[in-house]
Amino acid sequence: MSAVFGFVGLGAMGIPMSGRLLDAGYDIVGFDLNKDRVKEFEKRGGRSVASLKALADETETIFLSLPMPEIVESVTLGESGLCHGKKVKSIIDLSTTGSVMAESVHKQLLAHGITFYDSPISGGVGGAIKGTLAVMYSGSRDKFEELKAALSVFGNPFYIGEKPGQAQTMKLANNLLSAAAMSATSEAIGMGVKAGLDPKIMIDVINAGTGMSTASRDKFPKSVLPRTFDYGFATGLMFKDVRLCMEESRHLGVDMPVASSVYDSWKKTNDTIGAEKDFTTIVQMVEQSMGILIKPRDE
């Protein structure tokens, strides 16, 4: 393959995604402020540049994988941003920013002759490594077909719609359900432990019944019951996604009372346990509240 792509954001998700593109035969030019990440990217076979402008001067299509909306805005439109490059024509944002931000960045980049496509992903670090992510895309159908082979390296691409920001709305709906499942499962297991039940048996029963979710199927067995709390996604990022969902609901003028409760739960976790902690530590907030420890009896 002769396609050359830029890639900004070589973090927990960016390294495996850019690595999969390299493994598929694409030429990838990367940028990140973290030098250790850049070195890891180069070991995978990627080539790095020293600035965003340098990246935009030599690549027409650039992927972004960044943690916060304001970073996406700075990287694309800042004084040293991609918008000042001579060659870049398309930016595909794999980050979660919300539709309002996506629409705003799209409109501003058009003035620079650059088209911005929001294409957030879901499936976590494990999905990024395995290439099993859900890849949501909004923008022109023709561009989607052009990018489909590359997006398929990440996982399963879905065309959401033509309007900028629609893929972001889809991502926020998805992450609200993920956040709600983790919050509710933590409380349900906590209630059982308070009543004297073994949390491992509870998880086994839930996974065999109608209460099963990714929280009970994956996160509790892998990170909560072993008490490693290392699933690979920060509490601050989950709280950010739920916050963006609430902003989306206000923007659309819709009432979402369940989402409001989920927001309160994650805000408390973010403030109490810490934004930098793994998001599975929401369990620790429940433990503190209930005066329990969620740990299998045989351990």
Rg (CA), the chain: 20
Superfamily of domain 169-290: N-(1-d-carboxylethyl)-l-norvaline Dehydrogenase; domain 2 (1.10.1040.10)
* Tens of pLDDT, residues 217-251: 999 999 999 999 999 999 999 999 999 999 999 99
Q: How far is CA 93 from CA 61, 186, 265, in A?
A: 11, 32, 28
Every domain of the chain with CATH number 1.10.1040.10 lies at 169-290
User: What CATH code would you report for 4-163?
Assistant: 3.40.50.720
Cα gap 2→21, rounded to integer Å: 12
- pLDDT value at residue 247: 96
Every domain of the chain with CATH number 3.40.50.720 lies at 4-163
Cα gap 295→299, rounded to integer Å: 7
Give me the amino acid identity at 185: T
Q: Two tokens at 259?
A: 């989402």
- pLDDT value at residue 299: 58
- pLDDT value at residue 1: 44
Give me the amino acid identity at 98: G
Residue 293 CA to its chain's centroid (Å): 29
Look at residue 185 and tell me whether its pLDDT is greater than 80: yes
* 141 CB burial (10 A radius; 0-12, 13-18, 19+): exposed
* Tens of pLDDT, residues 103-114: 999 999 999 999
The predicted model gives 171-181 an average pLDDT of: 97
Cα gap 7→10, rounded to integer Å: 8
- Contact 46/28 with Cβ under 8 angstroms? yes
Cα gap 150→132, rounded to integer Å: 13
- pLDDT value at residue 52: 97
CB atoms within 10 A of CB 149: 13
Secondary structure (3-state) at 74: helix
Look at residue 116 and tell me whether its pLDDT is greater than 50: yes
* Tens of pLDDT, residues 1-60: 457 999 999 999 999 999 999 999 999 999 999 999 999 999 999 999 999 999 999 999
Q: Two tokens at 88?
A: 């870049």
- pLDDT band with cut points at 50, 70 and 90 for residue 257: very high
